[in-house]
Structure 1
Amino acid sequence: MANTITLNFDPVLSLNQGGKHVRDGLSTVLRTGNNLWLSCDERTTIERLTLQKDGSFGGHKSFCLSDYLQLPDHTNSEIDIEGMGMENNYLWLIGSHSLKRKKPRKDDSVAKQMKRLARVTSDPNRYLLARVPIVTDPETGNYTICKACGDPTNPTKKLRAAQLQGDKDGNELMDVLQKDEHIGPYISIPGKDNGFDIEGLATSGNKLYLGLRGPVLRGWAIVLELELEDAKDGFLKLKQLTPERPYKKHFLHLKGKGIRELRIMGDDMYILAGPTMDLDGVIAVYRWRNAVTGQNDSMVHTADLERLCEVPHGHGQESGKDKAEGLAIYDEHNLMVVFDSPTDARKVGAHSVTADIIKIN
């Protein structure tokens, strides 16, 4: 059984324009010192909580990313943030990069329901892969983000927010993946249909690892390895990592599960994995030993992955709830998991929710 920690959100900051509470759509979590950084998938903000004396997290502060980055659609559409990571005094963020299919509405006619089910749309802000400077406030000790600031570890260097080159229809990563023999055929398929869907981000040195919820190919999930370089005017570009392409591919045999989140501790990668389609199913945490030490593309078979534990998920009357979406390194012995669509049992009062702490060693 996992232990739990309560996350307390400020009621003034917690509702998006559609009235959805931030605790009902948590999609990623990252710990930096005494702070937790979280995101709700239907917003253009990230949230910071601070460790309290009673062991809970509170002191909610919200940061609107349009203040730091050039969002293609400003705050008019969601970013669908699915991953965050911290490295070299930068906070890295990524949107899902996925298309979405409209949901049928039960009260509509059959014809209208079928028409909605045929409609596929995109949100321009979902094509975000970016970094923002993150430093500690000397007065409070809390981590905070900024558009530009001095590098605390190098007085001669300036830290600046930047993002991968792109526009409302995609970015450089999507352009190159269109030609990929494994991923290209799935770019035009919505994420919930086993289409292209980024749902994990982990950092190690200059490397970024992107975990794909889809596609899953005959039981094999995909991790993409990237490095980004500075371009001009606040933009980044892909670094050429192989003679053929500016990324490496790692296939993990997770027996049909897609990747929900990635985290790195030391040389090992921790993977939160679950169904790629929109259904209830087993969600589990795996450890991939020495994941960041490889130099080439890789095929990681089931026997090379440690299955650490299962994570609770909704079923029966709670079907579609308690969907584990975010994974954090809580400390050297424990992971933290946060959930999208929490059950009522996980909610605390009107503005709080519990996260699970899982012991790993």
Structure 2
Amino acid sequence: MAKKVILHFDPELSVNKEGKHVRDGLSTVLNTGDNLWLSCDERTTIERLTQQQDGSFGDHTSFCLSDYLQLPDSTNSEIDIEGMGMENNYLWLIGSHSLKRKKPRKHDSVAKQMKRLAQVKSDPNRYLLARVPIYKDDKTGDYVICKECPDPANPGKMLWAAQLQGSENSNELYEELRNDEHIGPFMHIPGKDNGFDIEGLATSGNKLYLGLRGPVLRGWAIVLEVELEEAGEGFLKLKQLKPGRPYKKHFLHLKGKGIRELRIMGNDMYILAGPTMDLDGVIAVYRWRNAVTIEDETMVHTADLERLCEVAHGHGEETGKDKAEGLAVYDEHNLMVVFDSPKDDRKVGEHSVTGDIIKVD
């Protein structure tokens, strides 16, 4: 049974304008020293918690990303943040880039329910791939983000927030993928329907690894590898990595599962994988040995992946709950998992929730 760790959220910062509590929609988690960085999918903020003497995390601080980045829709629509990573004194963030289909409402007429099920929409802020400077405050010991600051590793160099060039319904990566032979046919399909949906981000040097929840092709999940370059005035552009395209593709046979999160420890990549569509199913953690040393695109067969463990998930009367979404490196021996739609027994009081600690060696 997984060890639990309690996450305490400030009641003044925890409920959005629709009334949803941050603990009920955790979608990613990143560990930086004594701080945890978390996001809720229905916000434009990221949350920072600090480890307490009893091992729990609290002292909640919230950062609104519109203060640092040029969000196309300001704070009017969600970013659907699905991944965070830290590298070279930058905090990297990515939105899902996915379309969403409206849910039928049981109290409506059959005709209205069918009409809603046919409606597909796009949120302008979801097409975000960005970085913000991050540094450790010597006075508090906490990591903080800013719009620009001197590089702690090289004070003569400035760090500044920037994002991939894009618009309200696309960005440079999205446009490139429209023509991809594997991914292109799924770009107009909502994420929960096995359409295009980014749900993982890991960093290694200049490389960004993007894990796709969908599409899954005949059981094969996809990791995209990209690198970004300066494009001036707070913007970034994709670096060409292959003849004719600015990304590499890695296919992993996860037996039909999509990728929920990626993390790197040493040279190994840890993968949180689960159903690509909106259903209950096995969620598991895999290890891809020496992933960051691979230079070429690759097909990673099941036999070349280590299936480390299954992760708790809702089923039966608790269907749709305890959906593992975030994975962090807790320490050199353990990973941490946080959950969207946590079960009642995972909630602590009115504003706290537990995550799971998983031993991996």
- Offset of 1:156 from its aligned partner? 1.3
Report the counterpart of residue 209 of structure 2 in structure 1: 209
Report the counterpart of residue 340 of structure 2 in structure 1: 340
Report the counterpart of residue 311 of structure 2 in structure 1: 311
Report the counterpart of residue 56 of structure 1 in structure 2: 56
Q: Is residue 32 of structure 1 aligned with residue 32 of structure 2?
A: yes
- Distance (Å, rounded) in 1 between the aligned partners of 2:307 and 2:169: 38
Q: Tell me which amino acid in the other structure corresponds to 2:199.
A: E
Report the counterpart of residue 145 of structure 1 in structure 2: 145
- Offset of 1:155 from its aligned partner? 1.4
TM-score in terms of structure 2 length: 1.00
Q: Tell me which amino acid in the other structure corresponds to 1:282.
A: V
Q: 5+ residue gaps in structure 2?
A: none
Q: Tell me which amino acid in the other structure corresponds to 2:26.
A: L
- Distance (Å, rounded) in 1 between the aligned partners of 2:355 and 2:155: 38
- Distance (Å, rounded) in 2 between the aligned partners of 1:318 and 1:244: 47
- Distance (Å, rounded) in 2 between the aligned partners of 1:171 and 1:297: 23
- Distance (Å, rounded) in 1 between the aligned partners of 2:220 and 2:155: 45
- Offset of 1:138 from its aligned partner? 1.1
Q: Tell me which amino acid in the other structure corresponds to 2:109.
A: S
- Distance (Å, rounded) in 2 between the aligned partners of 1:217 and 1:87: 31
- Distance (Å, rounded) in 1 between the aligned partners of 2:313 and 2:294: 33
Q: Tell me which amino acid in the other structure corresponds to 1:295.
A: E
Q: Is residue 281 of structure 1 aligned with residue 281 of structure 2?
A: yes
- Distance (Å, rounded) in 2 between the aligned partners of 1:175 and 1:229: 17
- Distance (Å, rounded) in 2 between the aligned partners of 1:300 and 1:189: 26
Report the counterpart of residue 236 of structure 2 in structure 1: 236
Q: Secondary structure at the match of 2:72?
A: coil
Once the two structures are superposed, residues 282-320 of structure 1 have per-residue CA deviations (whole angstroms, 9 ceiling, x without a partner) of 000000000011111100000000000000000011000
- Distance (Å, rounded) in 2 between the aligned partners of 1:47 and 1:288: 29
Report the counterpart of residue 120 of structure 2 in structure 1: 120
Q: Secondary structure at the match of 2:303?
A: helix
Report the counterpart of residue 360 of structure 1 in structure 2: 360
Once the two structures are superposed, residues 4-57 of structure 1 have per-residue CA deviations (whole angstroms, 9 ceiling, x without a partner) of 000000000000110000000000000000000000000000000000011100
Once the two structures are superposed, residues 91-136 of structure 1 have per-residue CA deviations (whole angstroms, 9 ceiling, x without a partner) of 0000000000000000000000000000000000000000000001
Once the two structures are superposed, residues 223-277 of structure 1 have per-residue CA deviations (whole angstroms, 9 ceiling, x without a partner) of 0000000001100000000112100000000000000000001110000000000
- Distance (Å, rounded) in 1 between the aligned partners of 2:36 and 2:195: 30
- Offset of 1:350 from its aligned partner? 0.2
Q: Secondary structure at the match of 2:354?
A: strand
- Distance (Å, rounded) in 1 between the aligned partners of 2:328 and 2:51: 15
Q: Tell me which amino acid in the other structure corresponds to 1:108.
A: D
Q: Tell me which amino acid in the other structure corresponds to 2:180.
A: D
How many pairs align? 361
Q: Tell me which amino acid in the other structure corresponds to 2:12.
A: V
Q: Secondary structure at the match of 2:263?
A: strand
Q: Secondary structure at the match of 1:317?
A: helix
Q: 5+ residue gaps in structure 1?
A: none
- Offset of 1:169 from its aligned partner? 1.2
Q: Secondary structure at the match of 1:170?
A: coil
Report the counterpart of residue 7 of structure 2 in structure 1: 7
Q: Tell me which amino acid in the other structure corresponds to 2:119.
A: R
Q: Tell me which amino acid in the other structure corresponds to 1:234.
A: G
Q: Is residue 157 of structure 1 aligned with residue 157 of structure 2?
A: yes
Report the counterpart of residue 110 of structure 1 in structure 2: 110
Which aligned pairs between 1:124-203 and structure 2 lie closer than 5 A?
A: 124-203=124-203
- Distance (Å, rounded) in 1 between the aligned partners of 2:15 and 2:185: 37
- Distance (Å, rounded) in 2 between the aligned partners of 1:350 and 1:325: 21
Q: Secondary structure at the match of 1:167?
A: coil
Q: Secondary structure at the match of 2:232?
A: coil
Report the counterpart of residue 302 of structure 1 in structure 2: 302
Once the two structures are superposed, residues 127-179 of structure 1 have per-residue CA deviations (whole angstroms, 9 ceiling, x without a partner) of 00000000011110100000000001001110000000001011000010000
Q: Tell me which amino acid in the other structure corresponds to 1:45.
A: T
Q: Secondary structure at the match of 2:256?
A: coil
Q: Is residue 46 of structure 1 aligned with residue 55 of structure 2?
A: no
Report the counterpart of residue 249 of structure 2 in structure 1: 249
Alignment RMSD: 0.3
Q: Tell me which amino acid in the other structure corresponds to 2:205.
A: G
Report the counterpart of residue 224 of structure 1 in structure 2: 224
Q: Tell me which amino acid in the other structure corresponds to 2:224.
A: L
Q: Tell me which amino acid in the other structure corresponds to 1:160.
A: W
Report the counterpart of residue 70 of structure 1 in structure 2: 70
